[in-house]
């Protein structure tokens, strides 16, 4: 699938773009391996800077959380955004 702007939001409204890392959130049905691919976040390239953190929540068709992870923007050129591999977050719930 492709990036969907509706699932993307700034989570750190008080950050200073280009001065302090920004915090963003993104909700998608795409796997973390797809989301972390270079170019996935190109649509919002102008909002992202190197060092920004993107928390990603992966949900299935019913809206259930299936995975979560953190990405860090490690490259932003005039055409492409690249992020680090996802640092997976635990999503298990044993109760």
pLDDT at res. 14: 66
Q: Cα–Cα distances in Å, from 59 out to 29, 31, 33, 51, 56?
A: 5, 9, 14, 25, 10
List beta partners, residue 87.
70
What topology is assigned to 5-10+21-89 in CATH?
Answer: Ribosomal Protein L25; Chain P (2.40.240)
Low-confidence ranges of the chain (pLDDT < 70): 12-15, 18
Dihedral (Cα; 65, 39, 4, 74), 10-degree rounding:
60
The domain segmentation of the chain, as residue ranges, is 5-10+21-89
Longest dimension (CA), the chain: 47
SS3 state at 47: helix
The pTM score is 0.90
pLDDT at res. 94: 84
């Amino acid at each position: 699938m492709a990036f969907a702007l509706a699932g993307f939001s700034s989570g750190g409204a008080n950050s200073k773009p280009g001065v302090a890392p920004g915090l963003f959130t993104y909700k998608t049905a795409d796997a973390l391996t797809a989301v972390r691919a270079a170019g996935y976040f190109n649509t919002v390239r102008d909002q992202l800077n190197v060092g920004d953190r993107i928390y990603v929540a992966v949900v299935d068709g019913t809206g259930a959380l299936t995975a979560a992870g953190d990405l860090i923007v490690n490259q932003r050129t005039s055409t492409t955004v690249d992020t680090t591999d996802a640092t997976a977050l635990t999503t298990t719930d044993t109760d």
